[in-house]
């Protein structure tokens, strides 16, 4: 990062917008969750402000806001039943979305490129989520709560009767949930980005 880019990133207007968007993301993360497959998967809308800020200011500010959102969540809620693993999963999967989205949009800031970036980010988030669940989340639940894989799969089976095996859990529960989450975040961001553009780019008068 050049000195000029660093100066722009940490300018007062940029920091102000980042602070406001982080606060909005934190409020949404703390207050608004829709259970999809309890107790593991809940749809939340906290990444909408993160994605708005990422498109407006770049991947660096987006990652900073994402980290701060999760730090605030831990400070207020504590580590919770997942001992912070849920926050780690949010950071990894969201970063997997915003990094390709930001890089593609930065090359040519058009609506078409935003859609392409969102599509690429969605696919990366789904792939990251499956890996995070397989490597981190599910082993954590099994060790921390003395569950076997059948019990964990059973949570999904209650909502999705066709999910019966571990592989089906990852590809028919985890992947579709994260696909739904990414699509919802993308659609809402797409709808509100232009009306909020003057604020996001510091052009309000």
pLDDT digits 0-9 by tens, 158-198? 888 888 888 888 999 889 989 999 999 999 998 888 887 87
Confidence category of residue 8, pLDDT binned at 50, 70, 90: low
Cα separations (Å) of 46 from 66, 105, 185? 9, 21, 9
Confidence category of residue 129, pLDDT binned at 50, 70, 90: very high
Q: Give the pLDDT of residue 80.
A: 64
Which residue matches tokens 């990366």? 124
Domain ranges within the chain, ordered by starting residue: 3-200
Average pLDDT in the 116-133 region? 93
- Decide if 152 contacts 204 (C-beta within 8 A): no
Which residue matches tokens 């809402």? 188
Highest mean pLDDT among 110-119, 138-147, 176-185: 176-185
More confident residue, 159 or 18: 18
CATH 3.30.70.920 is the classification of domain 3-200: no
Query: Whole-model pTM?
Result: 0.84
**Per the structure block, which two tokens stand in for 156?**
């999904």
């Amino acid at each position: 990062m050049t000195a000029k880019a660093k100066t722009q990133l940490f300018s007062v207007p940029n920091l102000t917008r980042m602070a406001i968007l982080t606060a909005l993301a934190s409020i949404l993360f703390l207050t608004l969750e829709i259970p999809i497959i309890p107790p593991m998967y809940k749809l939340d809308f906290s990444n909408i402000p993160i994605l708005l800020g990422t498109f407006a200011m770049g991947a660096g500010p987006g990652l900073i806001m994402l980290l701060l959102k999760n730090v605030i969540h831990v400070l207020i809620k504590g580590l919770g039943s997942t001992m912070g693993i849920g926050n780690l999963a949010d950071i990894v999967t969201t970063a997997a979305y915003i990094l390709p989205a930001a890089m593609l949009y930065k090359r040519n800031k058009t609506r078409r490129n935003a859609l392409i970036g969102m599509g690429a980010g969605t696919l990366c988030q789904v792939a990251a989520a499956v890996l995070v669940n397989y490597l981190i989340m599910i082993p954590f639940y099994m060790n921390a709560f003395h569950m076997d894989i059948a019990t964990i799969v059973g949570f999904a089976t209650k909502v999705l009767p066709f999910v019966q095996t571990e592989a089906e859990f990852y590809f028919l529960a985890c992947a579709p949930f994260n696909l739904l989450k990414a699509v919802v975040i993308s659609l809402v961001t797409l709808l509100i980005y232009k009306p909020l553009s003057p604020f996001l780019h510091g052009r309000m008068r």
